[in-house]
Chain A
Amino acid sequence: MNGSDERLPGLFDGMAAILRRDLLLAWKRPGDVLNPLIFFLLVSTLFPLALGPDARQLALIGPGVVWVAALLATLLSLNGLFLGDYEDGSLEQLLLSPQPLPWLVLGKSAAHWLTSGLPLIVVSPFAALSFGMPADAVRVMMLTLALGTVSLSLLGSIGAALTVGLHRGTALLGLLILPLAMPILIFGARTVSLAAAGDAAGGGVWFLGAWCALAMVLAPFAAAAALKISNE
């Protein structure tokens, strides 16, 4: 077996290759990146318009609305995580490549976050602006969104892998990962509310960090197993 051992590629080669490819694809199809982003901005700026300019009320609902919009925008983009690869046969080639599948999934999740979570964090202050959120709370919001969207990209890969063989699995994908996403939503929104009210927000941030670390360790393995089953 000595002959075949040296043919195994390095551990990070495949992950780097898939990260590079998915970023290149996103660059060539900017619509896939922009759609969820526009959805996020639309939802979070329509609320103040519909509810009227009562500053106290807006400050109260602001963190919740921004977080729900962020969660839904992420769900929107998660559906396509493995769908393209499944339809054009790239997934078969990935499954048959001499790479540990969880690493490839991690590479795809990283690319997904860089093209959905990161831009969302960058534009989120504009959404916060429409709710008159104080500067301190905006900083906490961006931090919680950073931890939350990383977790969602990772946990979402499990749902996306499970539903990739089904046609129109979007609703099912939402149902599947909502139980895992619920704590992120609750702690994220509540932490921003506390920060806006001037209270200590550290606990929530730590919780989101722990959730993110857990997702990073477990989600790629679960998603890799799900991909194998979906592709049978």
Chain B
Amino acid sequence: MYGPEAVTTTLLEGRGLGLVRGDRWLFGGVDIALGTGELLRVEGPNGSGKTSLLRAVAGLIEPDDGEVLWRGQPIRRHRQAYHAELAWMGHRPGFKGDLTPVENLRFEAGLRAGWKPAADDILQRLGLTPLRRIPYRLLSAGQQRRLALARLVLSGATLWILDEPFTNLDAPGREQVQSLLDEHLAGGGVALAASHQELAIDAPTQRIGLQ
């Protein structure tokens, strides 16, 4: 579907990204150029700075060197336009334990204009429909992770940044991550993922290895 001759435009660009932790460079000189339908997989052992790189690209931390551009514009000066197209799935879920999945998603919908209203379909697909009225904290770790996946899809974001998306998921759950990612990329989206596990993705995949 995406042959080498396919025309892609660069959406996400990182130029010479570097981050200092303590008195040493965690990483430096990282270049990223990601076009429509492409996935970037960040690899490296624990403590190599995978999460930090993702946080820097997302705009949660300021890189000590280099800059991140979205659609050719530096994200520092166009934060809102960038974040309108960004969905983040980190280690911590970002849901309220006392609220039900539906209440949590309703709050997210208030934050974003591009929110997709078709919540029932995705909850059904991820097996969350029977749990929609149960407080989030009573869900199992894997079910909580599935709700985070539902948020990714519903956000309607162009760029997905996933930090260890397979954590706590069983085999069917991992397959769902991959199929959701495939659909996202096939629909013209872009994704960044830090993962220990191999991703079986059809779309063109770039790799960055951190030491």
Interface residues, chain A, with chain B CB atoms under 8 Å away: 1, 4-10, 13-14, 16-18, 20-21, 24-25, 28-29, 84, 87-90, 92-100, 231-232
Q: How large is the interface on B (under 10, 10 to 19, 20 to 34, 35 or more residues)?
A: 20 to 34
List of 9 A-B pairs having minimum Cβ-Cβ separation, nearest first: A17-B110, A89-B92, A98-B84, A89-B94, A9-B113, A93-B94, A97-B111, A7-B84, A28-B98
26 A-B pairs in the complex with CB atoms less than 8 angstroms apart: A4-B84, A4-B85, A5-B81, A7-B85, A8-B113, A9-B110, A13-B111, A17-B109, A18-B110, A20-B107, A21-B96, A24-B99, A24-B103, A88-B93, A88-B97, A89-B92, A89-B93, A89-B94, A92-B88, A92-B92, A92-B94, A93-B88, A93-B94, A94-B111, A96-B88, A232-B60
Apart from A20-B107, A92-B94, A93-B108: 13 A-B pairs, beta carbons within 8 A: A1-B71, A1-B78, A7-B84, A9-B112, A14-B110, A21-B96, A25-B99, A90-B95, A98-B80, A98-B111, A98-B112, A98-B113, A232-B61
Q: Indicate the member of B58, B73, B80, B103 with the most A CB atoms within 10 Å.
A: B80
Q: What is the bound-complex CA distance between A163 and B103, given in angstroms?
A: 28
Is there contact, CB below 8 Å, between B60 and A95? yes
A18 shortest CB reach to chain B, Å = 8
A130 shortest CB reach to chain B, Å = 35
- Count how many pairs of residues, one from A and one from B, have CB atoms less than 8 Å apart in the complex: 105
Q: What is the bound-complex CA distance between A96 and B89, given in angstroms?
A: 11
B160 shortest CB reach to chain A, Å = 12
- Residues in chain B near residue A21, CB distance under 8 A: 96, 99, 103, 107, 110
Residue of A nearest to B61 (CB): A232
Secondary structure of the A side of the interface? helix
Is there contact, CB below 8 Å, between B92 and A88? yes
Q: What is the bound-complex CA distance between A5 and B81, given in angstroms?
A: 7
Interface residues, chain B, with chain A CB atoms under 8 Å away: 58-62, 71, 73, 78, 80-81, 83-86, 88, 90-99, 103, 107-114
Is there contact, CB below 8 Å, between A1 and B81? yes
Q: Indicate the member of B78, B88, B94, B110 with the most A CB atoms within 10 Å.
A: B110
- Residues in chain A near residue B103, CB distance under 8 A: 21, 24
Is there contact, CB below 8 Å, between B80 and A8? yes
B153 shortest CB reach to chain A, Å = 15
B148 shortest CB reach to chain A, Å = 9
Q: What is the bound-complex CA distance between A98 and B156, given in angstroms?
A: 13
Is there contact, CB below 8 Å, between A88 and B90? no
Q: What is the bound-complex CA distance between A25 and B99, given in angstroms?
A: 7
